[in-house]
Structure 1
Amino acid sequence: MNREGKPVEPTGKCSLSAKSLERLKGLYLDLVKTVERAIEITDIDFSVGEGLRSITRQKELFE
């Protein structure tokens, strides 16, 4: 929905790559749905940089 409460139509301009789709595996379904909806309605292409992180990876990034 947009600010006026109307549904936002898909633009069809962008789609997620196989790599981005792979990175979505294992994440919360609501998050996956949000990313999938965002790519449908955006005019600006984007990709998923990282998905599910291991504890080790998270600690590396934190440090």
Structure 2
Amino acid sequence: MPLSFSDLSHFPTGTLVPSGLDHQLLQIRNRGKADFSVNNVLVIKPNLCLNSTIKCHGIDF
């Protein structure tokens, strides 16, 4: 299910979210909007493509 940043921000640190691929989970680290990461990759520009059928977020790696 595509998730906007406001959806993702409700998950506490340590939450595992299904990725849509078999046996692949995404681990959330939530320390607020300025320090939010998925699988240890910092989200720096949330909601880049909110109006499409997918949701994408800019990352820093």
Q: Under TM normalisation by the shorter chain, which class is it?
A: under 0.3
Q: TM-score, normalised by structure 1?
A: 0.24
When you count strand as a share of all residues, which structure comes out higher? 2
Q: TM-score, normalised by structure 2?
A: 0.24
Quick check: which has more Rg, 1 or 2? 1
